[in-house]
Amino acid sequence: MHLLLIHIILLFEAVVNAAGTPPFDHRGQAFPNFNHGRGSSKRAAYSTCSLYEPAEQVAAPKENIWAQISPEDNLAVWNLLHDSASELNLTGPDKAKVNDNYVWYIDTVPVNKSDVLPYLDGSGPRPNSWARVIIFEGGKPEPVSQEYMIGPLPVSSETTIQKLDYPFNGGTGGAVPFNGRFFDQKRRDAAEPLLVSVMSNITDITSALLGGVFHGYDNPESTLVAAPTTPTSFNGSQAFQVIMFRLPGPASYLRPLDFYVLLDTTGTDASLYKLKGLVTNTQFFPTVADLRAAFEAGELTEEFYQPSDYDWALVKYNAAMGTRELEDRFAPQNLEVGGKRYKLDSEQKYVEYLGWSFYVSHSQTLGIMLYDIRFKGERILYELSMQEAAAQYGGFQPKAASTLYHDTHFQLGADLFPMVEGFDCPFGSTFWNVTVHNGNTSTVNPNSICIFELDAGFPLSRHREGDVPNDYGFSNLGVVKGSLLTLRSIATVGNYDYLFDYAFHVDGSLEITVRASGYLQSSFFFRDQGAWGPRIQEATQGSLHDHVLTWKADFDILGTENNLQVTEQKTVNTTQPWWPELGEFEQIALETYNVEKERALSWADNGQLMYAVNHASATNKWGSPRGYRIVPGKSNIRLSTLNSPFSRRNTALSKSHLVVTRQHDTEPWGNSIQNLNMPWKPQQDFSKFLDDESVEGTDLVMWLNLGMHHFTRSEDIPVTLYSEAVSSIMFAPQNFFDQSQDGDLKNRRWYTTPEAAGDHNATELVSEAYGINLPQCNVALQEPTIAPLVQL
Ligand SMILES: *[C@@H]1O[C@H](CO)[C@@H](O)[C@H](O)[C@H]1NC(C)=O
Ligand SMILES: *[C@@H]1O[C@H](CO)[C@@H](O)[C@H](O)[C@H]1NC(C)=O
Ligand SMILES: *[C@@H]1O[C@H](CO)[C@@H](O)[C@H](O)[C@H]1NC(C)=O
Ligand SMILES: *[C@@H]1O[C@H](CO)[C@@H](O)[C@H](O)[C@H]1NC(C)=O
Ligand SMILES: *[C@@H]1O[C@H](CO)[C@@H](O)[C@H](O)[C@H]1NC(C)=O
Ligand SMILES: *[C@@H]1O[C@H](CO)[C@@H](O)[C@H](O)[C@H]1NC(C)=O
Ligand SMILES: *[C@@H]1O[C@H](CO)[C@@H](O)[C@H](O)[C@H]1NC(C)=O
Ligand SMILES: *[C@@H]1O[C@H](CO)[C@@H](O)[C@H](O)[C@H]1NC(C)=O
Ligand SMILES: [Cu+2]
């Protein structure tokens, strides 16, 4: 941990003067006066920029009632559940087996919007907090995983334990059959003896074909890694495992081998588990004996071998690639040299920034969630949260062909980890912690959310009123600084590092961006399998796959009475009397209507369609409904496969570009985190949200899909690049205001060349800077440190 001091003198003034234009002899009176000279002899006089000054604190208007339950509540709930009086008959986590009852995890039940609004907007009571608990009830005659709600919190004599059924529409409430539940360590332990018995019996074969052996997940004699996938059931009547083998060590995801074991793991009695078959050389062998016969007949060979080293797969400097001229210089940075322009209530996780305000919450499953998002005091969104990060693969081999992931199932929200200042987030960013509950304890993941203001990288707006015969060639020139506040988190879910950005622009627009880096889930390379992705290393194919990430955008434009307006840009034939010679001619025209009922929608071909969420009756000064447009950004896709057995009904929300539904307390989530292993009989079927309800003049929710079709490439080695693996969407005012929201920004310049009397070639330039000081300070950057995770 050393301190790296980098001195950069910020001489904006010198830069301006270096442009070869006449000096500013005619500064407007608002132009700041600088005492510091430009000479290097004066540099010592500059003080250090306040980059690391914390943001000013502000008191949130209301308590953050969306916040997750505290570590104290988590422990109290844990103890309540494990008290014999609960009659839940729980076994402690260290002793429990698949056929016992034990707690999987504790999270937070979303507060009902119908309870929140009276509190938020009036003097209604503070809504109660409830814990959400998932208990694996393998000890029941009919073993299930069951969700519970425990509250109100903190635990008192009023606190009850109830089944949490109401958010789930699949027919079995919060219960999922044992076979469809999360394939946790205990299920893996139950299935491991069968896998080991198979693999230990064929060590000669695996040594010859793969160069390794497998004797158990944690057995030190194993030189192969077993990598199961999901889903592990279709409808809860059966359970299976599709296990691929890889070379161990870092970057194992990029070193797949040509060997697969398929197991039947139905039920809680592991003695009934069976081998379904083995796959290698693109052949299926129902039994070990069949595999052995083929091996002994010399029919099994490998054309390629994974290299034993893995240096090529690490995200580190690769000297063998040479150097680039001048790249040894320090890269440009975004630095808040004027001091932080946002205020925080760090306790309540509340943010204010140049007219914006919002609350931040976090859940174990969904990661960051934003609430009560307002601009200039007016509510735009009640909730903005990611609901699912799905990925589905394709390939001519058992793992890629079957893999579907729902990353909420893998607790994406628990995977937000400390970020690297200066690299993941700018130097001087504000960092917030994330707390994750785990059994009866909680862990603090420090610095796992960062907040910073960025230079947008482009001016928000400008105009040069030109073609005037004076020395400057214009009569006036206005330009406004573009800035935005970003709230960032990175979820490392296994192989992938998803980067989530919420960006609040100064004009009142809000942008969501998600990027992906990290390791591909790859497959063993076969020459004839180009349909599923290119060869990207010696023996590795980059497996083709889709990523689809769904956002819930519960718009409340000025309240809950909203419409979803569609504006189609059509090509129409018209006649106009002043062009009789044209007769009918084609031109563009708008057709506007409100969506009447809940439905799935698509982005239009050639972008000739606009969706806007409007208030049902409020209009701007010019008579247009006040609203926000949903502006498509990069890669607003949907899942490619609509009928795959692995993503049939459990992934319904990923299958359209966007969906509008009516808001209900009973529909807080777009997906169930226990849906993954129930593709044919999901705990929650998103398509059932669409039950013909009206969405006119009512509280509506937009479900928006971002993502990408991952056309894998050799540049995914060592890891996928955030530059290209990116998807975004923006919400922008659409007649919400009477004019653009940049007139009140002082970070701008206004230049005029007033006409001197009788002299149209005036050379006088008058500039206006509105009194914003240009900082004159030394930049002293500190080498980032990474804080350890703290077990409470
Ligand atoms: C309690 O759970 C165990 C499994 O952990 C089970 O064998 C036993 O039957 C259960 N007892 C009751 C009363 O349900
Ligand atoms: C939310 O509303 C539903 C439906 O009215 C109700 O069943 C449930 O108990 C409420 N949840 C909470 C946490 O208050
Ligand atoms: C091991 O292989 C032998 C013969 O190849 C077979 O008889 C035996 O059942 C196998 N054991 C297992 C667990 O597959
Ligand atoms: C699951 O699917 C199988 C095969 O289609 C069917 O026989 C079984 O009845 C289904 N079970 C449930 C609970 O839906
Ligand atoms: C959590 O449970 C473990 C046993 O599983 C126990 O040793 C520990 O003291 C408990 N911690 C707290 C804070 O209750
Ligand atoms: C974040 O966690 C660290 C480590 O537990 C702690 O020192 C720090 O005070 C926490 N910061 C906030 C803002 O809670
Ligand atoms: C306009 O009319 C022309 C001539 O009848 C026809 O070819 C064209 O398709 C029409 N365009 C539209 C948009 O209807
Ligand atoms: C203005 O500038 C133009 C072009 O340089 C020149 O032709 C013209 O004479 C000038 N007019 C006056 C009034 O100086
Ligand atoms: Cu990908």
User: 716 CB contacts (<8 Å, ≥6 apart)?
Assistant: 520, 536, 542
> How far is 602 from 594, CA to CA, in rounded Å?
15
Q: Is any ligand 6 atom within 6 A of the Cβ of residue 346?
A: yes
* 3-class secondary-structure state, position 210: helix
Q: What is the 8-class DSSP label of residue 611?
A: E
Domain-embedded: residue 381 = yes
206 plus 292 within the same structural domain: yes
Domain-embedded: residue 148 = no
**Residue among 396, 397, 400, 393 nearest 259 (CA):** 397
Distance of CA 316 to the CA centre of its chain: 25
E-state strands within 519-624: 522-524, 535-537, 540-542, 545-555, 562-574, 585-594, 599-601, 609-619
189 plus 274 within the same structural domain: yes
CB–CB of 560/654 below 8 Å?
A: no
603 plus 696 within the same structural domain: yes
Total number of domains constituting the chain: 2
Q: Is any ligand 1 atom within 6 A of the Cβ of residue 92?
A: no
Q: Is any ligand 6 atom within 6 A of the Cβ of residue 698?
A: no
Domain-embedded: residue 619 = yes
Q: Is any ligand 1 atom within 6 A of the Cβ of residue 139?
A: yes
Task: Decide if 25 is catalytic.
Answer: no
User: 708 CB contacts (<8 Å, ≥6 apart)?
Assistant: 516, 546, 547, 635, 637, 725, 726, 727
Domain-embedded: residue 498 = yes
Instruction: Output the residue whose Cα is nearest ligand 8's atom 11.
Output: 761
Residues 100, 407, 415, 507: which is the catalytic one? 407
CATH number, domain with residue 602: 2.70.98.20
pLDDT digits (tens, 9 = 90+) for 232-250: 999 999 999 999 999 999 8
440 plus 554 within the same structural domain: yes
Residues 105, 371, 405, 496: which is the catalytic one? 496
Compute, in angstroms, the gap from residue 231 CA to the centroid of ligand 3: 28
For residue 469, what pLDDT is reported?
A: 83
Q: What percent of the chain has pLDDT over 70?
A: 94
pLDDT digits (tens, 9 = 90+) for 251-302: 999 999 999 999 999 999 999 999 999 999 999 999 999 999 999 999 999 9
> How far is 705 from 639, CA to CA, in rounded Å?
9
Structure pTM? 0.93
Q: Is any ligand 1 atom within 6 A of the Cβ of residue 91?
A: yes
**How far does the chain reach from its first CA to its final CA, in angstroms?**
25
372 plus 512 within the same structural domain: yes
Residue numbers of the domain that contains 421? 354-389+409-454+481-530+538-638+663-669+692-734
* 3-class secondary-structure state, position 133: strand
> How far is 105 from 90, CA to CA, in rounded Å?
13
Mutate to test the pocket of ligand 6, among 430, 444, 451, 791 (most ligand atoms within 8 A of CB): 444
Compute, in angstroms, the gap from residue 611 CA to the centroid of ligand 7: 26
User: Where does ligand 7 bind, in terms of residues with CB under 6 Å?
Assistant: 571-573, 584, 586
The parts of the chain modelled with pLDDT lower than 50 are: 1-42
Q: Which residues pair with 129 in a beta bridge?
A: 153
CA–CA distances in Å: residue 365 to residues 412, 491, 603, 678: 5, 11, 28, 18
- Residue 59, classified by CB atoms within 10 Å of its CB into exposed (0-12), middle (13-18) or buried (19+), is exposed
DSSP 147-167: EEEEEEES--TT-EEEE--TT
Cα dihedral 715→716→717→720 (10° resolution):
120
For residue 4, what pLDDT is reported?
A: 38
Domain-embedded: residue 1 = no
For residue 755, what pLDDT is reported?
A: 78
> How far is 669 from 667, CA to CA, in rounded Å?
6
Task: Decide if 496 is catalytic.
Answer: yes
Q: Is any ligand 1 atom within 6 A of the Cβ of residue 475?
A: no
pLDDT digits (tens, 9 = 90+) for 89-147: 999 999 999 999 999 999 999 999 999 999 999 999 999 999 999 999 999 999 999 99
3-state secondary structure 496-518: EEEEEEEEEECCCCEEEEEEEEE
431 plus 514 within the same structural domain: yes
For residue 702, what pLDDT is reported?
A: 98
> Phi first, then psi: what are they for 114, rounded to 5°?
-65, -25
CB–CB of 549/707 below 8 Å?
A: yes
**Residue among 327, 321, 335, 381 nearest 357 (CA):** 381
The sign of the dihedral angle between the CA atoms of 121, 124, 129, 130 is negative
504 plus 571 within the same structural domain: yes
CATH number, domain with residue 227: 3.10.450.40
